[in-house]
Amino acid sequence: MSSIKDVAREAQVSIATVSRVYNNPKVVRGKTKERVYSAAEKLGYTPNFLAQTLRKSIVGTIIAIVPDVSNAFFMDMVRGIQDYAESRGYNVLMGHFNLNNFDIRKYVKLIKSKAADGIVMATGHNRHFKPVKEARNVPMVTIEEEFMGNPYIYVDNFEAIKKIVEYLAFKGRKKMGFLGFKTEEERFEAFKSALKMYGLEYDKNMVKKGEEVGKAVYNSAMEYVESLVEKHKIPEAIVCTSDVLAAGAIKWLIKSGLNVPKDVAVTGFDNIEVAELVYPGITTVEQPHESMGHEAARLLINKIEGHEIAKKIVFQTRIIIRESA
């Protein structure tokens, strides 16, 4: 099927001129119109008026929503969303939602009032929210978990945790602890499954799952290490489900007189900037947060513009080895 570019080339005019011939012919000279119509007939080109109508209804703005604006992982994601959106001529508005009282209706209202075209929402993993009836038929793409049947981007968290446990087991670490968040059932189950796979013992006294927003994250790491020391249950390795948790664990282990990684190896998850800045640097599971944001924006904009898109896209993780393990 011939395109507007083909017609412009055949008629020896610009693409903009071909567009004006079909959208505002009064401003184009007669001979030029004849050349364009002749080229279009020769090539079998028919303008897609449905697509033109769709483009005219597009505002050129998308909304990026995250659960925690203080979390560098989500901010890196937003950067990926913004970089791609701007490359397609779209602006990005940013907002956040309350984990304990999920409500995106105010953002949905912006879409329905034509202040924006669609939403990219980073849910965080293992968070499954109830459908919001007002959000039906709103262009939306989510990151990490599916929501209301919309396309989504995710990583295989189960496989990622198995990789890090395998790495620690290979390094000779047998007694492993787990420090994560309450919502992280998938990563926690992967941890237990991997221990079993390598014939290692699971000890509930070396496990903590706490809150994941703001200061609660740092407090969780401190309380975990204090509990280990108090119980005399010092693991040979601690698998943390975020780099911030890992950084906190390293700080309090060192304050308790333990050496990282000699006494206790510590691993993180995400590979955000803090993993490289702290000492010892954190061995971590890298998930490509910026690329995930980039891909989510691409899916959403293609959906807004009426293109066929994938239902889901999975990204691969890899282990980044530093001094902590």
Q: Is 297 found in the same domain as 150?
A: yes
**What is the Cα–Cα distance from 239 to 312, expressed in whole angstroms?**
28
- Write the CB contacts of 205 (distance below 8 Å, at least 6 apart in sequence): 231, 233
Q: Is 134 found in the same domain as 70?
A: yes
Closest CA to 208 of 230, 236, 228: 228
Contact 86, 109 (CB under 8 A): no
Q: Is 199 found in the same domain as 259?
A: yes
Cα dihedral sign, 102-74-85-288: negative
Number of other CB atoms surrounding residue 165 within 10 Å: 25
The string of pLDDT tens digits covering residues 115-143 is 899 999 998 777 778 888 888 889 999 99
The string of pLDDT tens digits covering residues 36-93 is 888 888 887 776 654 555 555 777 899 999 887 777 788 889 999 999 998 888 899 9
Output the pTM of the full model. Answer: 0.75
The answer to which of 10-24, 91-105, 273-287 has the lowest mean pLDDT is: 10-24
The string of pLDDT tens digits covering residues 233-272 is 899 999 999 999 999 999 999 999 999 999 999 999 999 8
**What is the Cα–Cα distance from 166 to 160, expressed in whole angstroms?**
10
Structure tokens at 90: 């779209």
Q: Within a domain: residue 303?
A: yes
- pLDDT value at residue 154: 92
Q: Are strands 140-143 and 152-155 parallel, antiparallel or unpaired?
A: parallel
- pLDDT value at residue 172: 94
Q: Is 169 found in the same domain as 225?
A: yes
| Average pLDDT score over the chain | 87
CATH number at residue 12: 1.10.260.40
Q: Within a domain: residue 322?
A: no
Q: Within a domain: residue 324?
A: no
Q: 170 falls in which pLDDT band (50, 70, 90)? A: very high
C-alpha dist (Å) from residue 4 to 1, 24, 215: 10, 15, 56
The answer to which of 102-106, 146-150, 157-161, 269-273 has the lowest mean pLDDT is: 102-106
Q: Domains in the chain: how many in total? A: 3
Greatest pairwise CA separation for the chain in angstroms: 90
Q: Within a domain: residue 325?
A: no
Q: 34 falls in which pLDDT band (50, 70, 90)? A: confident
Q: Is 299 found in the same domain as 213?
A: no
- pLDDT value at residue 30: 84
Percent of the chain with pLDDT over 70: 94
Q: Is 123 found in the same domain as 38?
A: no
- pLDDT value at residue 212: 65
Q: Within a domain: residue 306?
A: yes
Q: Please give the order of strands across the beta sheet that includes 283-286.
A: 207-210, 176-181, 237-240, 265-270, 283-286, 318-320
Q: Is 43 found in the same domain as 67?
A: no
Q: Is 161 found in the same domain as 151?
A: no
Higher pLDDT, 48 or 208: 208
Is the pLDDT score of 316 beyond 60?
yes
Q: Within a domain: residue 193?
A: yes
Q: What are phi and psi of 207, to 5 degrees?
A: -125, 135
Q: Is 297 found in the same domain as 282?
A: no
Q: Within a domain: residue 320?
A: no
The string of pLDDT tens digits covering residues 274-289 is 899 999 999 999 999 8
Q: Is 277 found in the same domain as 209?
A: yes
Quick one: residue 65, left, alpha or beta (phi over 0 = left, psi -120 to 50 = alpha)?
A: beta
**What is the Cα–Cα distance from 84 to 78, expressed in whole angstroms?**
10
* Residue 288, preceding peptide bond in cis (omega within 30° of 0): no
CATH number at residue 249: 3.40.50.2300
- Write the CB contacts of 44 (distance below 8 Å, at least 6 apart in sequence): 1, 2
Give the H/E segment covering residue 33. helix 30-43
Closest CA to 61 of 96, 85, 34, 40: 85
Crossing angle of the two packed helices 30-43 and 15-23, in degrees rounded to 10: 100
Q: Within a domain: residue 202?
A: yes
* Residue 261, preceding peptide bond in cis (omega within 30° of 0): yes
Full domain range(s) for residue 29: 4-47
Q: Is 43 found in the same domain as 69?
A: no
Q: Is 282 found in the same domain as 173?
A: yes
Closest CA to 301 of 155, 151, 149: 151
